[in-house]
Amino acid sequence: MADKENNAHKLQQEIEVISYKYNRLQKQSLETSTVGKKLISLTKKNRLEDSQLPTDKTWHSIMTEVDKIYPQFYSLLKEAFPNLTESEYQYCYLHIFGFDANDEAKLLGINPASVRMKRTRIYQEVQLKHDKETFLRDYIIKNLLK
């Protein structure tokens, strides 16, 4: 009986390691994609001109890339959180890249406080406790994209 429990524990540890590595590969795939590189380069600028903010075409590229790496991302979000607005779903696509509030603010052409408000509204909508231990990106990956 102890051997079975030990084996089960070892298997669980292996699953956790593989899951962690898989999540890292997915994040690296986003970061090294064409649209990921473009977004990262934009975040390095002090301020973006209106012409540099994501266009409809860029948003389509963002959504396509995320859907390629996380199949059915939109449908899973929509199913789990049916009351989010299209703007909030779009924000979730950007948020999955792992940018901080300052970088997201740059990319959205808003101030960081507005990004934090947007996050808070989403946290409330999905009834997720908003604290330092719970991050929306991690919650989405662990609970929706498993």
Total-model pTM: 0.81
Which runs of consecutive H residues, i.e. helices, occur in 33-72?
A: 34-43, 56-69
Supply the DSSP symbol for 31.
H
Q: What is the mean pLDDT of the chain?
A: 86
Say how far apart CA 120 and CA 118 lie, in whole Å: 5
49, two tokens = 């001109």
| Measured distance CA(96)–CA(78) in Å, rounded | 15
Q: Give the confidence band of 65 by pLDDT, cuts at 50, 70, 90.
A: very high
Find all residues with CB under 8 Å of 134, minimum gap 6, and list them. Answer: 128
Q: Where are the domains of the chain?
A: 2-143
d(CA 71, CA 51): 30
Residue 133 reports pLDDT greater than 60: no
